[in-house]
Structure formats: C-alpha cells, structure tokens
C-alpha cells in the first residue's frame, strides 16, 4: 500500500479507514511538526499495536488522532509486534473523534504539549481546586512542559492538558513556549499535600474497581479543606473512610498495610 501524506490534509480516522478497507498489514509511521514520532501497526486492516513516546496502546492512537500537522507514511512490518491495543476500529474511531473535538477547544489556549506551564506571579486570589488540579499544580515549576509533567505524574498528556486548561482559566498559571528563566512553584498547603499523598498511596495499592468511590471521598475531603484549610479532622476522617472502603473491598490485610502508610503521611514521615 503506497499511503503517505500530510496530517493537515488527511487525519488519522480517514487513514485508518482507508487501511482497513484494503485489509493492509504493516506500519503507519507518524511525525508531527514538533518532531514527535508515533507508529501504528496493522494486521489485515485492524489496529493491533501503537506507541508514541511513553504512551502505548489505545492512548497512543488517541494522541496521534489530535495531531493537526505532520506527516505519515505506510511501511512494511519490520518485526512481530505484541498486541497492546484493546479497542476495535469502530471504538477507536469514535473515541478519536471525541478527543479531536475536545482538543479543538483546549488548543485555543494550549497549542501543543510542548508548552511550559508557569505559575502566575500576580495572582494571589484564593481558588477552589479539585484533587486532580492540586496534583498537577505541585509538578509545575516552569522548567517542565506538559509532556514532561504528564510523565512525572503518570498521566496522559491529553488528561494533563485538560487540568492545565482549568488552571489557565483560573489564572493560576500562564503558558510559555520556552522554559522559565527561574523555577517558580506554587506552595501547596500542608494538609492538601497530605491528602494528595494519601491519594498517591491509595492508587498504588487499591483495585481499579474501588478507585472511583475512593476518589469521591478524597474530593469531599478536599472540599472541606477549601472551606477551612487548617481542618486536620477532614484529612483524618477522609483517610479513615478510605481505609474502611479498602477493608470492605479488599480485606483486612490490605487495609492494615495501607493504614501504616497513611500513619507515616499524617505524622509527616512519608517520603515525598
């Protein structure tokens, strides 16, 4: 298959549909205008493997889907690739279209993942942030771009961009094409830091099925801190609620192990 061209003229969903109709087996290589390289591997027209930097699988497909500019070409398979894409073509196309629509909004303020969020120096207003926004804010120091921040906090660049967008709207950060001349960090309140560390430890240990309910508990705890930033009781009661949920969902041993780590966090002995 002789397929190559510009992403400005032909977007990923159209490329994948063409490859699927002709039942192609091979690799589609991509490079955007910032030099980021991606690849999608096809077996008889179906997407089986994808990678862009640290991203692999479905998320790698979705990142390429929001590239407005760049080039692509189809090449023969150079080796065997393990399957890391779970979605079928229809589901990949639907989610890619949704992400592309969302990125058109985000890109009005965030041109690309290579931009550097910088703490706004002239904003001293008290803002209400959720745990995810506080979680991203602690990594922003002007020296890391959005892709770097995503890597450090184990998030996708797309998800990180959505959080940075919220910080931009609130006036807490600005964006720069280049790293800041000096690092500028936003001081995260001590009790918020403890709550974020509790969240980090929970996500390392807890089954995925429990995380939605637990994230709601953590968000409720943060809402209490937004009312009173010195409310130690809010953090302790949130930690206890999380431990109770873990005990019910995973058993007493899992809850006991997590409780030891929470105790170190609450006493200020946990490693950062």
- Tens of pLDDT, residues 153-172: 888 999 999 999 999 988 88
Q: Where along the chain do its domains lie?
A: 4-103, 116-176, 190-266
Token pair for residue 211? 């995380």
Q: Computed over its alpha carbons, how large is the radius of gyration of the chain? A: 22
* CA dihedral sign of residues 47, 50, 55, 56: positive
pLDDT at 99: 93
Q: Helix (H) and strand (E) counts for the chain? A: 10, 8
Half-sphere exposure of 107 (CA within 13 A, CB side): 11
Nearest C-alpha neighbor of 268 from the set 188, 199, 189, 190 = 190
- Report pLDDT for 272: 44
What are the residue ranges in the chain where pLDDT is below 70?
1-2, 122-127, 182-186, 269-272
Residue 40 in contact with residue 50, Cβ under 8 Å? yes
pTM, whole model, 2 decimals? 0.72
Give whole-number Cα distances, 187 to 119, 172, 192, in Å.
Answer: 10, 12, 10
**Which pairs count as long-range contacts for 3-9, CB under 8 Å and 24+ apart, including other chains?**
3/28, 3/72, 3/73, 3/74, 4/71, 4/72, 4/73, 4/74, 5/71, 5/72, 6/69, 6/70, 6/71, 6/72, 7/32, 7/67, 7/68, 7/69, 7/70, 7/71, 7/72, 8/68, 8/69, 8/70
Predicted local confidence at residue 122, as pLDDT: 64
Positive or negative CA dihedral for 166, 172, 176, 180? negative
pLDDT in tens, 116-159: 999 887 655 566 777 778 888 888 989 999 999 998 888 899 99
* Region of residue 126 (phi > 0: left; psi between -120 and 50: alpha; otherwise: beta): beta
Structure tokens given for 165: 């967008």
Beta-bridged to residue 31, according to DSSP, are 37, 71
- 26: nearest Cα among 69, 67, 81, 91: 81
What distance in Å separates the CA atoms of residue 21 and residue 30, rounded to the nearest whole number? Answer: 20
Q: Are 254 and 207 in contact (CB under 8 A)?
A: no
- 116-176: CATH topology: Arc Repressor Mutant, subunit A (1.10.10)
């Amino acid at each position: 298959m002789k397929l190559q061209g510009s992403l400005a003229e032909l977007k990923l969903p159209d490329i994948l549909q063409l490859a699927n109709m002709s039942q192609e087996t091979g690799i589609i290589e991509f490079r955007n205008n910032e030099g980021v390289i991606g690849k999608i591997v096809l077996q008889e027209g179906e997407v089986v493997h994808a990678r862009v930097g640290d991203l692999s699988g479905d998320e790698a497909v979705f990142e390429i889907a929001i590239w407005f500019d760049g080039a692509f070409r189809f090449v023969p398979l150079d080796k065997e690739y393990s399957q890391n894409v779970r979605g079928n073509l229809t589901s990949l196309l639907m989610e890619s279209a949704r992400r592309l629509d969302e990125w058109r909004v985000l890109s009005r303020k965030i041109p690309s993942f290579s931009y550097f969020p910088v703490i706004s120096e002239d904003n001293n207003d008290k803002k209400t942030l959720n745990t995810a926004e506080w979680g991203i804010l602690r990594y922003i120091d002007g020296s890391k771009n959005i892709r770097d921040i995503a890597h450090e906090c184990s998030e996708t660049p797309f998800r990180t961009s959505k959080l940075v967008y919220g910080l931009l709207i609130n006036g807490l950060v600005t964006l720069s094409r280049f790293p800041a001349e000096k690092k500028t960090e936003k001081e995260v309140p001590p009790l918020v830091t403890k709550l974020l560390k509790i969240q980090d430890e929970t996500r390392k240990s807890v089954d995925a099925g429990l995380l939605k309910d637990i994230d709601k508990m953590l968000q409720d705890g943060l809402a209490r801190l937004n009312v009173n930033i010195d409310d130690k009781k809010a953090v302790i009661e949130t930690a206890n609620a999380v431990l109770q949920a873990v005990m019910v969902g995973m058993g007493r041993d899992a809850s006991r192990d997590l409780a030891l780590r929470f105790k170190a966090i609450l006493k200020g002995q946990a490693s950062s």
